Structure 1
């Protein structure tokens, strides 16, 4: 195989992307579709799923909440029914969680962040493990964040889950490696898009500064002084599932322009 051919996944991979109807998840799903993969996405937003169906002919969709065991089981049953199995799991679903001092946070907001961001990844891996073991190209990509390697004041529930995802990834790599399944985490930095705009706006309000000033604070903490695009994350996902990434496992890989602090 020529080196250039090793740099992209083989055609026909069966891929599940959670929260795949917008943002990073949509970029990853679209990228896999371009390689000839069979792609199933889930999301909790029916309108976004309908839009994805129109934008990407052939994509499979299902409404599912990754924090719901019943929804996850139904989603994986659908993957078996539609694809006959699964080769790649992209655990992307997550929420930003609350912004504020630890003693000002509502317990239900903390629990929702833990359930969706961390428990959700546990559940999806648990329900998909048998299918991934049957694959000859099994791979799991858990989407964490640079907040999974750096402390993040005023965003403690979010940061705690993202550090947890790195621990989950490294543990699963050891557990599932003997079955030929590679497990890695991607740690996106400040990703351009509506979600990041909301994060910046919430933090600006919490600190009593303007949106423009807060945005500049974020950019000043990045060595390259720029945000990354969702497609940058998708490119790394493709590489990790390509023959060129065959011996990469247990890694937490930042795609962030070198975020120095947050």
Structure 2
């Protein structure tokens, strides 16, 4: 096997990406599809799923199946797995990507309902999908893989974003524990910790924080970039490339790790 072979994902992977119809999830889904994987996504946005179907036939995303699902709803999780059993006939890779930014504010200002919603989507859903995926992943001929999207907020404190940070720390705990539990079954479990990622979601975060501080968007963006050693945002394609590597022969010995892809965010 050549060095280039080691870097390519295994052929014919069957991949499920939660929150996969937009943003980082879509970037990951398309990257796997472009490498020949059979990909299914679930997403809570009907518009995002419809946009997948509207892509031209030559686009990689045209090969991506989709299920409309709220990942915090156990009945919706059941529907997703019924769909992938019917369309993929099994599963080799679960990418637990779905998540929300949660509220911005001091701990005494946060609505408990928003706290619960953030935990339900960012943490509980990862448990529910991993729980359902494991019986399928243990049958993978390449050894199954779970990739959980955490965040640099899962290795740093994040004032005024406590619900988000707490869930992203918890995701790392889930990954570390499952890697030990599932390793004897040949299933690898890792987290990717993106930092400040270019896209609409980060724009909303910056806008919310700028409004809270009473400053302009450009000034707030500048403050965010000054926290990154490389002084730039991460491109979603860089996150997708890391996910591909973790599902390649070269990444076959990696499990139980939280890999930051963030340009070295120094502080939040």
TM-score (norm 1): 0.99
Distance 2:255 2:172 in 1: 12
Match for residue 33 of structure 1? 33
2:244 to 238, 242, 256: 238
Match for residue 227 of structure 1? 233
Match for residue 202 of structure 1? 208
Q: CA deviation at 1:78?
A: 1.1
Q: CA deviation at 1:53?
A: 2.2
Distance 1:13 1:73 in 2: 21
Q: Which moved more, 1:132-141 or 1:95-104?
A: 132-141
1:6 aligns with 2:3: no
RMSD: 0.7
Structure 2 gaps of 5+ residues are: 56-60
1:159 to 165, 172, 181: 165
Distance 1:126 1:54 in 2: 32
Structure 1 gaps of 5+ residues are: none
Deviations 1:210-260 (A, max 9, x none): 111111110000000000111000000000000000000000000000000
1:92 aligns with 2:72: no
- 1:144–1:165 CA contact under 8 A, matched in 2: yes
1:142 aligns with 2:133: no
Name the SS for the 1:41 alignment partner.
strand
What are the residue-to-residue correspondences of 1:177-216 with 2, within 5 Å? 177-216=183-222
Q: CA deviation at 1:8?
A: 1.2
Distance 1:252 1:118 in 2: 16
Match for residue 125 of structure 1? 130
Distance 2:227 2:5 in 1: 36
- 1:53–1:61 CA contact under 8 A, matched in 2: no
Name the SS for the 2:63 alignment partner.
coil
Name the SS for the 1:110 alignment partner.
helix
